[in-house]
Amino acid sequence: MARSQALEVQEKKELVSKEEKTVPARYYVPTTDIYETEDALTLVMEIPGVDKQAVDVNIENDVLRVEARVNFSKYEGLEPLYTEYNIGYFARSFTLSNKIDQQQIKAQLDDGVLTLSLKKAKEALLRRIAIN
Protein backbone atom coordinates (compact mmCIF):
# COMPACT_ATOMS: atom_id res chain seq x y z
CA MET A 1 0.00 0.00 0.00
CA ALA A 2 1.33 3.40 -0.90
CA ARG A 3 1.92 5.65 2.07
CA SER A 4 -0.24 8.71 1.84
CA GLN A 5 1.47 12.05 1.94
CA ALA A 6 1.89 13.69 5.34
CA LEU A 7 -0.20 16.82 5.73
CA GLU A 8 1.49 20.11 6.38
CA VAL A 9 0.06 23.18 8.02
CA GLN A 10 -1.06 25.83 5.57
CA GLU A 11 -0.66 29.16 7.29
CA LYS A 12 -3.92 31.12 7.09
CA LYS A 13 -3.70 34.00 4.66
CA GLU A 14 -5.02 37.30 5.86
CA LEU A 15 -7.39 38.98 3.47
CA VAL A 16 -6.02 41.93 1.55
CA SER A 17 -9.16 43.39 0.07
CA LYS A 18 -9.64 46.05 -2.54
CA GLU A 19 -12.63 47.26 -0.62
CA GLU A 20 -11.74 48.22 2.88
CA LYS A 21 -13.65 46.85 5.83
CA THR A 22 -15.30 49.23 8.20
CA VAL A 23 -14.60 46.88 11.09
CA PRO A 24 -11.09 46.38 12.39
CA ALA A 25 -11.38 42.62 12.94
CA ARG A 26 -9.14 40.36 10.91
CA TYR A 27 -10.45 38.45 7.92
CA TYR A 28 -8.91 35.37 6.39
CA VAL A 29 -8.93 33.97 2.87
CA PRO A 30 -10.45 30.48 2.82
CA THR A 31 -8.40 27.78 1.10
CA THR A 32 -10.32 27.04 -2.10
CA ASP A 33 -10.53 24.48 -4.89
CA ILE A 34 -12.37 25.34 -8.08
CA TYR A 35 -13.33 22.88 -10.76
CA GLU A 36 -15.59 22.86 -13.73
CA THR A 37 -17.70 20.16 -15.25
CA GLU A 38 -19.80 20.28 -18.37
CA ASP A 39 -22.80 21.90 -16.71
CA ALA A 40 -21.51 23.41 -13.48
CA LEU A 41 -18.74 25.30 -11.75
CA THR A 42 -17.92 24.05 -8.27
CA LEU A 43 -16.10 25.92 -5.53
CA VAL A 44 -14.93 24.12 -2.41
CA MET A 45 -13.85 26.33 0.49
CA GLU A 46 -12.50 25.48 3.92
CA ILE A 47 -14.19 27.57 6.59
CA PRO A 48 -13.62 25.76 9.90
CA GLY A 49 -15.68 26.95 12.85
CA VAL A 50 -18.50 28.50 10.84
CA ASP A 51 -22.15 27.51 11.33
CA LYS A 52 -24.47 27.01 8.35
CA GLN A 53 -26.46 30.13 9.21
CA ALA A 54 -23.36 32.33 9.18
CA VAL A 55 -22.45 31.91 5.51
CA ASP A 56 -23.42 34.57 2.94
CA VAL A 57 -23.07 33.91 -0.77
CA ASN A 58 -24.02 36.43 -3.41
CA ILE A 59 -23.37 37.14 -7.06
CA GLU A 60 -23.40 40.67 -8.38
CA ASN A 61 -22.02 41.78 -11.74
CA ASP A 62 -20.44 38.37 -12.28
CA VAL A 63 -18.57 38.60 -8.98
CA LEU A 64 -19.21 35.79 -6.56
CA ARG A 65 -18.68 36.85 -2.97
CA VAL A 66 -18.57 34.56 0.02
CA GLU A 67 -18.44 35.74 3.58
CA ALA A 68 -18.41 33.32 6.52
CA ARG A 69 -18.60 34.48 10.10
CA VAL A 70 -16.79 32.25 12.54
CA ASN A 71 -18.66 31.42 15.73
CA PHE A 72 -16.40 32.67 18.49
CA SER A 73 -18.91 32.55 21.35
CA LYS A 74 -17.57 29.14 22.36
CA TYR A 75 -14.28 30.77 23.34
CA GLU A 76 -15.97 32.51 26.24
CA GLY A 77 -14.36 31.55 29.54
CA LEU A 78 -11.33 30.07 27.80
CA GLU A 79 -7.91 31.47 28.61
CA PRO A 80 -5.23 30.82 25.98
CA LEU A 81 -2.11 28.98 27.10
CA TYR A 82 -0.50 28.08 23.81
CA THR A 83 -1.70 28.89 20.28
CA GLU A 84 -0.73 27.93 16.76
CA TYR A 85 -3.42 29.61 14.69
CA ASN A 86 -5.76 32.56 14.86
CA ILE A 87 -9.43 32.76 14.03
CA GLY A 88 -11.47 35.33 12.18
CA TYR A 89 -14.14 35.80 9.58
CA PHE A 90 -13.55 34.40 6.12
CA ALA A 91 -14.13 36.36 2.93
CA ARG A 92 -13.24 35.80 -0.69
CA SER A 93 -14.60 36.86 -4.05
CA PHE A 94 -14.15 35.56 -7.57
CA THR A 95 -14.99 37.04 -10.93
CA LEU A 96 -16.94 34.44 -12.83
CA SER A 97 -16.10 33.93 -16.48
CA ASN A 98 -19.11 31.74 -17.14
CA LYS A 99 -22.69 32.80 -17.16
CA ILE A 100 -24.28 31.30 -14.09
CA ASP A 101 -27.91 30.48 -13.54
CA GLN A 102 -28.42 32.42 -10.32
CA GLN A 103 -31.55 30.46 -9.50
CA GLN A 104 -29.63 27.24 -9.34
CA ILE A 105 -26.83 27.74 -6.85
CA LYS A 106 -26.46 24.92 -4.40
CA ALA A 107 -24.52 25.26 -1.17
CA GLN A 108 -23.58 22.57 1.28
CA LEU A 109 -21.50 22.65 4.45
CA ASP A 110 -19.83 19.50 5.76
CA ASP A 111 -17.12 19.33 8.41
CA GLY A 112 -16.14 22.96 7.86
CA VAL A 113 -16.02 22.64 4.08
CA LEU A 114 -18.41 24.71 1.96
CA THR A 115 -19.26 23.35 -1.46
CA LEU A 116 -20.89 25.77 -3.89
CA SER A 117 -22.29 24.30 -7.03
CA LEU A 118 -23.05 26.91 -9.68
CA LYS A 119 -25.07 25.63 -12.60
CA LYS A 120 -24.12 27.23 -15.88
CA ALA A 121 -26.82 29.22 -17.63
CA LYS A 122 -28.35 27.59 -20.71
CA GLU A 123 -26.65 29.94 -23.18
CA ALA A 124 -23.24 29.12 -21.70
CA LEU A 125 -23.62 25.40 -22.19
CA LEU A 126 -21.61 23.85 -24.94
CA ARG A 127 -23.76 23.01 -27.92
CA ARG A 128 -22.85 20.08 -30.02
CA ILE A 129 -23.53 20.57 -33.68
CA ALA A 130 -24.08 17.45 -35.64
CA ILE A 131 -22.40 17.44 -39.00
CA ASN A 132 -24.53 16.09 -41.77
Closest CA to 125 of 100, 106, 94: 100
Long-range contacts of 77-85 (CB under 8 A, 24+ apart): 84/9, 85/12
Nearer of residues 19 and 131 to other proteins, judged by Cβ: 19
Exactly one of 77, 130, 131, 132 binds other proteins (CB under 8 A); which one?
Answer: 77
Binding status of residue 125 toward other proteins by CB under 8 A: no
**Pattern of binders to other proteins over 19-38, x per CB under 8 A?**
----xxxx----xxxxxxxx
SS3 assignment, position 122: helix
**117 pairs with which residues across the strands?**
42, 106
Near other proteins by CB under 8 A: residue from 61, 86, 95, 132: 86
- Could you give the angle at the alpha carbon of 86 between the alpha carbons of 90 and 77, nearest 5°? 110
The footprint of other proteins (CB under 8 A) covers 3-10, 23-26, 31-38, 42, 44, 46-51, 71-72, 74-75, 77-89, 109, 111-113
